[in-house]
Structure 1
Amino acid sequence: MNDAGPLGRLARLAYRNRGRTVLLWLAALMLAFGLSAAFGGDFAADYSAPGSDSKAAQELLQEKFPAQSGEIVDVVVRADGGVEAARGDVRALLDELATVPHVASVDDPFAAPGGVSPDGRTLVAHLRLDVTNPNDMPVADSERLLEIADADRAGLDVALGGQAVQLAERGDIGSEGLGLLAAAVILLLMFGSVVAAGLPILTAVAGLAVSSALTGLVLRFVDAPDWSTSLATMMGIGIGIDYVLLMVTRFREWRATGLDAEAATVATLDTAGRAVMVAGSTVVVSMLGLFAMGLSFMRGAAVVTIIGVLVVMAASVTLFPALLGYLGRHVDRLRLPLRRRTRTEIAVGGHIEPSRGWLAWSRLVHRHRVLTALAGTAILLVLASPFLGVRFGFPDAGNNREETSTRQAYDMQADGFGPGANGPLVLVADLARPGDATALDGLRAAVAATPGVAAVTPPQLNPAGDTAVLTVVPATGPQDEKTEDLVHRLRDETIPAATRDSGTAVRVGGVTATSIDSTENIAGRLPLLIGGVVLLSMVLLLASFRSIAVAIKAAVMNLFSVAAAYGVVAYVLQGGWAGQLIGIDTETPLPAFVPVLMFAVLFGLSMDYEVFLVSRMREAWNRTRDNGRAITEGLAGTGSVVTAAAAIMIAVFAAFVPSPDVVLKVIGVGMAAAILVDATVVRMLLVPSVMHLLGRATWWMPRWLGRVLPELHVEGQPERHLPVPPDPSRDLVEAAA
Structure 2
Amino acid sequence: MSRPPRPRCYRRRQRAVGMAGGQAVSVRIAMWSAHHPARAVLGWVAFIVLCVAAGAATGTNKGVISDFWMGEAGRAEAAAAAAGLTPPPVEHVLITAPGKSLDAAAAAVRDVRGALQESLDVAEVGEPVRSADGGTLRIPVTLAGDTETAKKTVRGILERTAALQAAHPEVTIAQTGSASVSVGVNDKQGQDLARTEMISLPITFVVLLVTFGAVLAAAIPVVLALSAFAGSVGLYGVASWIFPDAGGAAISVVFLLGMAVGVDYALFYLKRVREERARSGNTLTHAAAVEIAAATAGRSIMTSGVAVIVSLAGLYIVDDVIFSSVATGAVLVVAVAVAGSLTALPALLVGLGGRIGHRSIGRRRAASDSRWTALLQPALRRPVATLLVGAVLTAALALPAASIRLGNEGKETFPAGIPAVATYSRLTQAFPDEGAQHLVVVRADPARATDATAAIDELARRIGGGPARTVSADGTTTVLQVPVGYPENSPAARASLDRLRGELLPATLGGTGAEYAVSGEVARGVDYSAHQAGRIPWVIGFVCVATLVVMLVAFGSVVLALVGVVINLAAVVAAWGGLTLVFQNDWAEGLLGFTSTGFIGSRMPLMILAILVGLSTDYQIFVVSRIREAVRRGVPTRQAVLDGMAASASVVTSAAVIMVSVFVSFIFIDRIEMKQVGVGLTIAVLFDAVVLRILILPAVMTLLGERCWWPRRGSLTQDVVSRPRRARAART
Q: Into which bin does the TM-score normalised by the smaller protein fall? A: 0.7 to 0.9
Shift in Å at residue 583 of structure 1? 2.0
Task: Quote how far apart the aligned CAs of 1:82 are.
Answer: 7.4
Equivalent in the alignment of 2:614? 604
Residue by residue, what CA displacement relative to the aligned partner does 1:404-435 show, whole Å, maximum 9, x if unpaired?
323323432342344x7532111123343399
Q: Residue 340 of structure 2 aligns with which residue? A: 315
Q: 1:26 aligns with which of 17, 31, 45?
A: 45
SS at match of 1:657: helix
**Any conservation in 1 of the 2:435–2:484 contact (CA below 8 Å)?**
no
Provide the rounded CA distance (Å) in 2 between the counterparts of 1:205 and 1:719.
Answer: 44
Greater displacement, 513-522 / 223-232 = 223-232
Residue 154 (structure 1) aligned with residue 170 (structure 2): yes
Question: Who is 2:479 aligned against?
Answer: 469
Structure 2: how far apart are the matches of 1:161 and 1:531? 41
* TM-score (norm. length: structure 1): 0.86
State yes or no: 1:424 paired with 2:424: no
Mark the CA change 1:296 to 1:635 in structure 2 (over 3 Å): closer, same or farther. same
Aligned residues of 1:392 and 1:591 also touching (Cα < 8 A): yes
> Which of the numbers 210, 222, 228 marks the counterpart of 1:201?
222
- How many pairs align? 698
Instruction: Determine if the alignment matches structure 1 residue 624 to structure 2 residue 643.
Output: no
The 2-side partners of 1:261 and 1:522 are apart by 50
Q: What letter corresponds to residue 47 of structure 2 in structure 1?
A: A
CA 1:97–1:667 in 2, change beyond 3 Å: closer, same or farther? farther
Deviations 1:190-223 (A, max 9, x none): 1112232222223222222221222222223321
Aligned match of 1:484 in 475, 494, 499? 494
Deviation at 1:589, TM superposition (A): 2.7
State yes or no: 1:214 paired with 2:238. no
Specify the code of the residue in structure 2 equivalent to 1:229.
Answer: I
Offset of residue 298 of structure 1: 1.2
Say yes or no: does 1:298 pair with 2:323: yes
Task: Kindly indicate whether the alpha-carbon contact (under 8 Å) linking 1:397 and 1:407 is maintained by their aligned counterparts in 2.
Answer: yes
Q: What residue in structure 2 maps to residue 55 of structure 1? A: 74
Q: Which residue, 38, 41, 44 being the options, matches 2:57? A: 38
Residue ranges of structure 2 left out of the alignment (5+ in a row): 1-10, 12-19
1:677/1:70 CA distance change after superposition, 3 Å: farther
CA shift, 1:5, in A, is 3.1
The answer on whether the counterparts of 1:292 and 1:525 sit within 8 Å (CA) in structure 2 is yes
Say if 2:73 and 2:520, in contact at 8 Å, map to a contact too.
yes
Report the Cα offset of residue 135 of structure 1. 8.7
Distance 1:135 1:648 in 2: 41
* CA distance in 1: counterparts of 2:700 and 2:34, whole angstroms: 41
Aligned residues of 1:558 and 1:603 also touching (Cα < 8 A)? yes
SS of equivalent to 1:133: helix
On the 8 A contact 2:181/2:421 being kept in 1, the answer is no
- Residue identity in the other structure for 1:65: G
Residue 672 of structure 1 corresponds to: 682
Task: State the partner residue of 2:376.
Answer: 362
Consecutive unaligned residues in structure 1, runs of 5 or more: 111-115, 336-340, 346-350, 727-737
Rounded Cα–Cα distance in structure 1 between residues aligned with 2:342 and 2:169: 62
Measured against aligned partners, the alpha-carbon deviations of 1:71-124 in whole angstroms (never above 9, x if no partner) come to: 4334344567776885653353344345556333334354xxxxx544444455
How far apart are the structure 1 equivalents of 2:255 and 2:597?
A: 30
Distance 1:187 1:445 in 2: 70
Paired residue for 1:387? 401
Is 2:589 aligned against 1:579? yes
Indicate the SS of the match to 1:355. Answer: helix
The code of the aligned residue for 2:446 comes to R
Distance 2:109 2:600 in 1: 37
What SS does the aligned partner of 1:624 have? Answer: coil
Summarize deviations over 1:465-493 as a string: whole Å, max 9, x none. Answer: 44332111224331123322332332233
Question: For residue 509 of structure 1, what is the aligned residue in structure 2?
Answer: 519
The equivalences for 1:227-238 within 5 A come to 227-238=249-260
8 Å CA contact 2:154–2:179 kept in 1: the answer is no
Match of 1:460, SS state, is strand
Q: Aligned-pair distance for 1:651?
A: 1.2
Shift of the 222–48 alpha-carbon distance from structure 1 to 2, 3 Å rule, reads: closer
Deviates more, 1:117-126 or 1:508-517: 117-126
The answer on 1:182 being equivalent to 2:198 is no
Answering whether residue 623 of structure 2 is matched by residue 633 of structure 1, we say no
How far off is 1:247 after superposition?
A: 0.8
Q: Deviations over 1:282-332 (max 9, x none)?
A: 110111101111112211211111011101111110111111221133321
Deviations 1:679-722 (A, max 9, x none): 1221122211222223332222389xx99xxx9x9x9x999999
Letter in 2 for 1:540: V
Distance 2:450 2:685 in 1: 58
| Greater Cα shift, 86-95 or 519-528 | 86-95
Q: Is 1:106–2:125 an aligned residue pair?
A: yes
Q: Does 1:681 align with 2:691?
A: yes
CA-CA distance at 1:605 after TM superposition: 0.6
Alignment partners' CA distance in 2, 1:46 and 1:569 = 30
- What letter is aligned with 1:12? M
The 5 A counterparts of 1:686-697 are 686-697=696-707
Q: Is the 2:318–2:532 Cα contact (8 Å) retained in structure 1?
A: yes
Amino acid at match of 1:206: S
> Which shows bigger deviation, 305-314 or 497-506?
497-506
Correspondence 1:276 to 2:301? yes
Distance verdict in 2 for CA 1:373–1:543, change over 3 Å: same
CA distance change for structure 1 residues 183 and 135 in 2, over 3 Å: closer, same or farther?
Answer: farther
Equivalent AA in structure 2 for residue 592 of structure 1:
S
For residues 559-579 of structure 1, the C-alpha deviation after alignment (integer angstroms, 9 at most, x for no partner) is 111112112222332352313
Match of 1:443 among 456, 472, 475: 456
Identify the structure with the greater helix proportion: 2
C-alpha deviation, 1:167, in angstroms: 3.0
Q: CA RMSD in A?
A: 3.4
CA distance in 2, matches of 1:391, 1:581: 22
Contact 1:431 1:503 in 2 (8 A): yes
Q: How big is the shift at 1:138?
A: 5.7
| Counterpart check, 1:554 vs 2:564 | yes
Q: 1:236 and 1:700 mapped to 2: Cα distance? A: 35
Cα separation, 2, equivalents of 1:282 and 1:591: 26
**Deviation (angstroms), 1:69:** 4.3
Q: 1:662 to 1:94 in 2, by over 3 A?
A: farther
Residue 605 of structure 1 aligns with an amino acid whose one-letter code is L
Q: In the alignment, is the contact (CA less than 8 A) between 1:457 and 1:470 conserved in 2? A: yes
| 1-structure distance, mates of 2:468, 2:184 | 33
Q: What are the residue-to-residue correspondences of 1:396-435 with 2, within 5 Å? A: 396-418=410-432, 421-433=434-446
C-alpha displacement at 1:148, in angstroms?
A: 4.8
Q: Which moved more, 1:557-566 or 1:356-365?
A: 356-365
Shift in alpha-carbon separation, 1:530–1:171, aligned structure 2, 3 A: closer
Quote the residue 1:660 is aligned against.
670
1:537 and 2:553 correspond: no
Could you tell me which residue of structure 2 aligns to residue 15 of structure 1? 34
**Percent of matched pairs sharing the same residue:** 28
What are the Cα deviations for residues 431-486 of structure 1, in whole angstroms up to 9, with x where unaligned?
43399577446425435535xxx744231234554433211122433112332233
Name the counterpart of 1:113.
Answer: none
Match of 2:357 in 1: 332
Structure 1 range deviating more: 563-572 or 600-609: 563-572
Map of 1:250 onto structure 2? 272
Which secondary structure state, in structure 2, belongs to the residue aligned with residue 137 of structure 1? helix
TM-superposed CA distance for 1:670, in Å, is 1.3
* Residue of structure 2 equivalent to 1:165: 181
> For the Cα contact (< 8 Å) 1:149–1:159, is it kept in 2?
no
Distance 2:651 2:197 in 1: 22
Supply the distance in 2 between the matched residues of 1:447 and 1:531 (Cα, whole angstroms). 45
Q: Which residue of 1 aligns with 2:4?
A: none
- Contact (CA 8 Å) 2:435, 2:485: kept in 1 or not? no
TM-score, length of structure 2 as denominator length: 0.87
